[in-house]
Chain A
């Protein structure tokens, strides 16, 4: 439970940090997202109920800090990010046996894909609301860029979280399950 608590705190810190990380101009203004990487690590390391808890926490924070309320309209209802996180984390959770066998690369790739999927889903939702369906080069970069960055960051973040898990004597570590 200590490790779960640490993950919850890290999600808050990462969510705040995202506000201060400037977008990447060389990647068509793509943003860097750290929270999805933490959530998807949690999906692999945590049992199902705690995974849902982490998705709920991250989704609430994301929606509360980014969703727009214009007049009497909410652009994307509070809760959609929770659902997105939970579904994608659920998929990652299903591939947990691979992680336990020490195959991290699949999850690093999937973390990137799932991060992009969240942004794509947001884009589709706002497009449905605002109308005019368009997919320009900038759109693809702004969807794919954060995914690529998440893929690159994932091994480092996973390694750090694995280290924290060891420090907090978290019993769900792959090595311990193997033992």
Chain B
């Protein structure tokens, strides 16, 4: 894969049974099911409204991912 560069971005996929906007560190960034390009490091991930999902948020540390091997996390439908 080659030397990791200082400027390398990381990749995250958020799974949820519905299509939903993804919130990262309180900011809308992408949608569920997509590869979302995010800076390496500690992030808090949640979903956009409505609040019918659990857990309310997930804390992750993004590192050593790639566009073909993203970090995948899931939220469940909270009926």
**Bound pair (A, B):** no
